[in-house]
Amino acid sequence: MRKNYVFIDYENVQPESIAGLEKGNFYILLFLGANQSKLNTNLVRSLQPLGTRVEYVIITGTGKNALDFHIAYYIGERVAIEPDAYFHIVSKDAGFYPLIQHLKDRNILASRSGSISEISILQKSSLKTLPERTNVVKARLAQMEGKPSTVKTLSSTINALFQKTLSEDEVEMVVKDLCGKGVIAIINKTRVTYLAK
């Protein structure tokens, strides 16, 4: 299962809990500014059970973007070791967009969210019904230029979209639902054709 690193800019976002990150393959780095001497008690209580999956990074220097540069450094450090991990930045600072785009240009999975609840994998993992999952896949396929041309590649695309949290049967159900909704047609059990809607 893919590792998900969550870099929290505590100067910018002060979550009261880490709801949704307790289970799964999440590793949290909480970045604290030099002038931050207190943490929310509820947050500490929710982090404590994660043990070694939580790291506190205390910035000693001050200055504009000091904490942001530290986040960029720690992402680079982790990318060098685990290039296949997913890197989530939790911050309301839109200044992270160039960094995110730079990582994506190098095929590194990265995103920025304004809060923990906005992290895309948490939103996707909360989609329990088949129609919800199918709608997410349908929207993703509509954005793709080079759409998967085989059932195997389509299944891999769906699996990756949901961060490998779905079973083979659940992925197959989404493929069948896409067929049933007239989004795709499967030819000779292996080829995928996209139907105009």
Residues 164 and 111 in one domain: no
**Domain hosting residue 168, numbered range:** 127-194
Residues 104 and 9 in one domain: yes
Residues 85 and 173 in one domain: no
In one letter, which amino acid is 85?
A
| CATH number of the structural domain spanning residue 163 | 1.10.10
In one letter, which amino acid is 49?
P
Q: pLDDT digit string (tens) for 111-159? A: 998 888 778 777 666 667 888 888 888 887 887 788 899 999 999 888 8
Residues 13 and 110 in one domain: yes
Burial 44-77 (b: 16+ CB within 10 A, else e): eebbeebeebbeebebeeeeeeebbebbbebbee
Residues 43 and 71 in one domain: yes
pLDDT tens by residue, the chain, 197 residues = 689 999 999 998 998 888 778 877 899 999 998 888 888 888 898 899 889 999 999 998 888 888 999 999 999 999 999 999 999 999 999 899 999 999 999 989 999 988 887 787 776 666 678 888 888 888 878 877 888 999 999 998 888 777 677 788 889 999 999 999 999 999 998 999 998 75
Domain count, the chain: 2
Q: Which of 119, 147, 173 is the last residue of a domain?
A: 119
In one letter, which amino acid is 42?
N
Residues 109 and 161 in one domain: no
Q: Which of 119, 143, 167 is the last residue of a domain?
A: 119
Residues 108 and 139 in one domain: no
pTM of whole model > 0.85? no
